[in-house]
Structure 1
Amino acid sequence: MNLALQPPLENIASIQTAGTLKPDVKPTVFRILIAISIVHLVNDTIQAVIPAILPILKNAMNLSYMQAGMIVFALNMTSSVMQPVVGLYSDRKPTPYLLPIGMALMTLGVLGIAFSPGYWTILLSVLFVGLGSAVFHPEASRVAYMAGGSRRGLAQSIFQVGGNSGQSLAAIMTALIFVPLGQLGALWFTVITLAAAAVQISIAKWYQGYIKAHPMPVKKGTARTVSPERKKQITFALAVIMCLLFVRTWYHSSIMIYYPFQLMEKFNLNLQQAQIYIFLFAATGALGTFLGGSLSDKFGRRNVLFFSMAGTVPLALALPYADAFWAYPLVAVIGLVVMSGWSVTVVYAQELVPGMIGTVSGLTTGLSFGLGALGAVALGGMTDAFGLNAVLKVVSVLPILGLLTFLLPTDKKIKEWYSEE
């Protein structure tokens, strides 16, 4: 079967700087992009199910808010710590079959969740889920980069929208499966993860064929030299990106993990009713992720990032004071706007530090998981101490920090940096 393998995307910079500015158009392999996006959907569905079923676990095991936060911490921290490690390794030695191995680890974690009798076994199970996710993300992001051709923003959006769709499905799965079946409902997800592993094997074969047909050239003594001033500029831009990840991830965690508790306490809703709000937030977030990446190809990465952060501010400030009716449109629009910058952040970072796709992808997505883990624990501890309403009002102010996006170098400036070399 002809897999329509295209030449390495690393050659783009050399073509652009060879004297002619002729566009370097490379085909986009949509079949692979759609496949890796579907697996991303499965991966992030499993991850998002864990915080979604916290109310069930909390009641069944008499957990505190801090213990509930620790479960999310164990999940996200495992993924965040290992993703950059996997990314650095795969930059040096691409390993296609890490993809199905990651899904196998996640399957073990799902089985553990189904049969865990208490708090400590739940923690062990989510460690397997987090490790499987850490193995998946850097290599999957590389696959999306290779299959994307010249349309990086669109390719990353297709890949990321699978993950965001998975987060939205988690709320529905919780209402339809875990509420009536409890923990044993996790057994249904093993069927999905095993099917995803089979898809991963097919993707790994394409990936392996790609790197065999287009091996990375090894040229000693040709490494790019970066001036001290440029290093400072790149370091500052990366620091701003970390701040944006902090804002987006902590705010996202507050909605996905703790907002359902507020809805149930404040408006006397049951878990199924509260999950409808989270479904809206995650579903419109998936739409925003897709639109944001596509728009960034046309209007620029930094412009879309700035819109995603600045546009969230008034909506986030209003949400804690909204009644049950107005919370529906608010969470829907917030999800659309705030997540429109998610895939753009990854692509922006990849273009800021070219040539290290796996490492940068692992750092950005891994950092998000790590910050989400810290946020889960910190917000849980603050909620135990000060109350849910007070904490969510404080968190609503966080998006204001996103206005620091204005300090990032423009897309044009980044292109000028590397065209000079």
Structure 2
Amino acid sequence: MKGKEPLFRRGVFTFSGSHFLNDLVTTGMVPALVVLYKQAFDLNYTQSTLVVLMSYLTSSVSQPLFGMFADRKPRIWLYPAGVFCSIMGLALTGLAPSLPWLLLFISISGLGSGAFHPEASRATHLASGSKKALAQAIFQVGGNAGQAFGPLLVSLYVSHSGIQGLLWLIPIAFLSLLLTGQILPWLREKLETTKLQSKKQINGDNNLLGATLLSCVIILRSWCQIGVVVFLPFYLHNLTIQQSEILSFVFVGAGALGTFVGGVLADKLGMKRLLVSSMLLATPFALIFPHVHGVLSVLVLLLFGFSVLSSFSVSVVYMQRMLPKNIGLASGLSIGFGVGAGGIGSVFMGGISDIFGIATVFTILSLLPLAGSLIAVFLPNDRMEKKLAA
């Protein structure tokens, strides 16, 4: 029976590890590097956040497209190639002579991430057996851990070496090929064995309204997450770059833990209930944070990150349930388009910062989880979707 399929641990943890490397450089290091890029190229706030925009825009636009292509014909070579390009693209920014070249290399990194996510998420789906939520939680924890360690790496190393220190990512890009290449034979065989069963696996109709509402929730959550990471160093101007990046690590690191806990609790509470409650729970912490200081601010930031990102892996599985006929597209929307929209939000927030100041940005960011929670109330019952997909 399908319900008794075991979890392929080596595969899931390989995909999680590659997710760590990919998101370490894209969603982890790129926002944290904005301060250094601003100094190196003498940029204003709007130009600085344009770097984040190009990274997230190329990733967010390409991921649904790569996902649709993958639904028609999986291309497993995009899995290792995507990780390689995402790391190599960022490494080459250490050689960028001007802003246009910087944006070009950042775009290559974003496209690599866009190619990676749909294939990696599909592969995780294949390796998950009957434990879809747990497998996606492990996969997403890898990505969120990369996002958390990205700012930490910037604060401990790149801030001292300068952007030229990013060139040391080049050997890591080649090492990533060893990690991803060793799982390709299994993945190729798995795709062949499941091809004959594909019709049996695609049950139920796509819920386009539910997918649209969920995308809106993911976008708001992404604006909040990326906004905090990008603007925290500017908001806490009395702290050093290293100190502010460590706070970013606390925020996203707590989110990685929340991602795993949310994936475990989803089967008991239900995905809709978890999504609504986690965003609602994040609201008071978001409102309090600008008004606290010292150790209390670290504690509030930790709880804020844990709660707002605890629905991360759940939203991926939720989207796959609502788009059972298009697993690749579902992954592209939930991980790519929705999350990548944070880059667009960061540029919008950058414009607000130039006009009204950083404090106004944090006031707006504090209201985004509440808006996401209200929209999530209107999502379809995930238990019904589960029965339709069964």
TM-score range, shorter chain: over 0.9
Contact 1:154 1:297 in 2 (8 A): no
Number of residue pairs matched? 388
Map of 1:249-398 to 2, 5 A cutoff?
A: 249-264=222-237, 268-398=238-368
Give the aligned partner of residue 407 of structure 1.
378
Question: Which of 165, 182, 191 pairs up with 1:185?
Answer: 165
1:325, distance to aligned residue in structure 2 (A): 3.0
Give the aligned partner of residue 19 of structure 2.
40
In structure 2, what residue type is equivalent to 1:404?
I
1:399, distance to aligned residue in structure 2 (A): 1.4
Secondary structure of the residue that 2:236 maps to in structure 1? helix
Residue deviations 1:45-91, cap 9 Å, x none?
A: 00121111111111121101001111100000001111111111111
Residue deviations 1:344-395, cap 9 Å, x none?
A: 0010110112132111101111222331121111001110011001221122
**Unaligned runs of at least 5 residues, structure 2:** none
Map of 1:14-413 to 2, 5 A cutoff?
A: 24-47=3-26, 48-216=28-196, 234-264=207-237, 268-401=238-371, 402-413=373-384
1:107, distance to aligned residue in structure 2 (A): 3.8
Contact 1:76 1:130 in 2 (8 A): yes
Q: Distance in 1 between matches of 2:219 and 2:310?
A: 16
Residue deviations 1:286-321, cap 9 Å, x none?
A: 000111111112221112111211111111111111
Q: Residues 301, 57 of structure 1: CA spacing in aligned structure 2 closer, same or farther, 3 A cutoff? A: same
What's the Cα RMSD here? 2.0
Q: Which moved more, 1:109-118 or 1:163-172?
A: 109-118
Q: Distance in 2 between matches of 1:132 and 1:239?
A: 25
In structure 2, what residue type is equivalent to 1:412?
R
After TM superposition, the runs of 4+ consecutive aligned structure 1 residues lying more than 4 A away are: 222-226, 416-419
TM-score, normalised relative to structure 2: 0.95
Secondary structure of the residue that 2:97 maps to in structure 1? coil
**Unaligned runs of at least 5 residues, structure 1:** 1-10, 13-23
Q: Distance in 1 between matches of 2:185 and 2:386?
A: 34
1:96, distance to aligned residue in structure 2 (A): 1.3
Residue deviations 1:214-239, cap 9 Å, x none?
A: 324577xx99785xxxx7xx333223
Q: Residues 148, 217 of structure 1: CA spacing in aligned structure 2 closer, same or farther, 3 A cutoff? A: closer
In structure 2, what residue type is equivalent to 1:363?
L
Give the aligned partner of residue 15 of structure 1.
none
Contact 2:203 2:325 in 1 (8 A): no
Secondary structure of the residue that 1:312 maps to in structure 2? helix
TM-score, normalised relative to structure 1: 0.88
Q: Distance in 1 between matches of 2:79 and 2:314?
A: 23
Contact 1:245 1:367 in 2 (8 A): no
